Structure 1
Amino acid sequence: MTILGTQIETIYLIVLLVSGSLTLLYILFGDVFHGIGEALNFLHPALVLAFFTFFSASGYIMEMITPLSSQTIIVFSILLALLLDTLLNVFVLIPLSSAEESIAYTEDSLKGRVGKTIISIPENGFGEVVLESSSGTIAKPAASYRNESIGEGMQVLVIEVNSGVLYVVRYENHQLHDVL
């Protein structure tokens, strides 16, 4: 079959190369186009590009190895691309979008957590504290809440967070009521 004087196999191959290249560029520079995916929720750029990639790849392969007519191959390619696109959305994109939100934290959520100093905190100075959780490790600058020095490797309790700096005290279970 020819369209505008060009063999259908050539058209499939060109669409495959263009959509594959655009998919690669989207993966590398997707943050620039993030707003497009949010504005057009049902037409996510990754899904549109994946559809054209699946469609053209399956169409090209079927044209090369099957004796089916080009019209039948187009219909099968569209159906296969829709199925693969749906699977990609359900099993990859949706879980990734919810996983991205689950590892986020707010400064207020750090209050009351216990961490460990990895850089000692001098009097009236700054050090660094690491907080561990099920979603990962957070290292933040820290200062002493009471303006006292806290050595490296000490357990600390986060009392306050201000402008990204954790204000901490030495963590000892029996002194918790004295802090507050």
Structure 2
Amino acid sequence: METLFWSCLAGGILFAVVSVVLGDLVSHALDGLLDFLSVDFLKPMVIASAVTVFGGAGILLTHYTSWGGVIVVLLSVVIAILISALVYFFYVKPMDNSENSTGYSIRELSGRIGEVTIPIPETGFGEVMIKLGAGNTVHIASSFERHLLSAGTRVVVVDVLDGVLRVTKLDERRGDVV
């Protein structure tokens, strides 16, 4: 039984070292190959911590208690489940929730204010620059009301149709649509 505990402990430590050193390389090599196994709480970190804690707890309970093998295994499993639940709720889940992205959907641009960079004719297309976060993004635009919009005109995005921003002139005095 002690061989099983030592194997689990060594395997967990080896997994931790390999994932720290080669984690990105292995992730790119597998590239979603094991996604079908993905259940929210069955993350590799949670499983590895459970296996490692099972091995470590089993070794400690074997050496420092006089309990029988079945009790040691059951108690090691309970400890492993508790510790892996703690790892999931206090490390893995908060890290998943903290991921930020600079990506956006073009649909999110409705209602945003921008500036015409390439004039927009009555029936054609031009270009509008919109500030997003710390940067700017430039998109193809057309006039919502079929009016000529010259370069430098401040506009508001009314709608997005087939990837084209439909814009109208912004009334600078009131800060709203003309």
The SS at the match of 2:88 is helix
> What residue number does 2:10 align with?
13
Aligned counterparts, 1:124-163, within 5 A:
124-132=125-133, 139-145=137-143, 146-151=147-152, 155-163=154-162
> What residue number does 1:121 align with?
118
> CA distance change for structure 1 residues 120 and 73 in 2, over 3 Å: closer, same or farther?
farther
What is the distance in 2 between the residues matched to 1:121 and 1:43? 51
Q: CA deviation at 1:51?
A: 2.0
Q: CA deviation at 1:16?
A: 2.7
List runs of 5+ in structure 1 lacking aligned partners. Answer: none
Is the Cα contact below 8 Å between 1:36 and 1:44 reproduced in 2? no
Question: 79-88 or 89-98: which moved more?
Answer: 89-98
Q: CA deviation at 1:20?
A: 5.2
What is the distance in 2 between the residues matched to 1:109 and 1:140? 14
Is the Cα contact below 8 Å between 2:129 and 2:136 reproduced in 1? no
What's the Cα RMSD here? 4.5
List runs of 5+ in structure 2 lacking aligned partners. Answer: none
> CA distance change for structure 1 residues 165 and 74 in 2, over 3 Å: closer, same or farther?
farther
Is the Cα contact below 8 Å between 1:19 and 1:52 reproduced in 2? no
Deviation sequence 1:23-54 (CA, Å, 0-9, x none): 836994486144432xx455344432332244
Is the Cα contact below 8 Å between 2:41 and 2:88 reproduced in 1? no
The SS at the match of 2:82 is helix
> CA distance change for structure 1 residues 122 and 130 in 2, over 3 Å: closer, same or farther?
same
Structure number with larger C-alpha Rg: 2
The aligned length equals: 163
What is the distance in 2 between the residues matched to 1:35 and 1:8? 29
Amino acid across the alignment from 1:166: L
The answer to whether residue 134 in structure 2 is matched with residue 171 in structure 1 is no
Is the Cα contact below 8 Å between 2:156 and 2:169 reproduced in 1? yes
What is the distance in 1 between the residues matched to 2:51 and 2:167? 54
Question: 67-76 or 154-163: which moved more?
Answer: 67-76
TM-score (norm 1): 0.57
> What residue number does 1:86 align with?
85
Q: CA deviation at 1:59?
A: 4.3
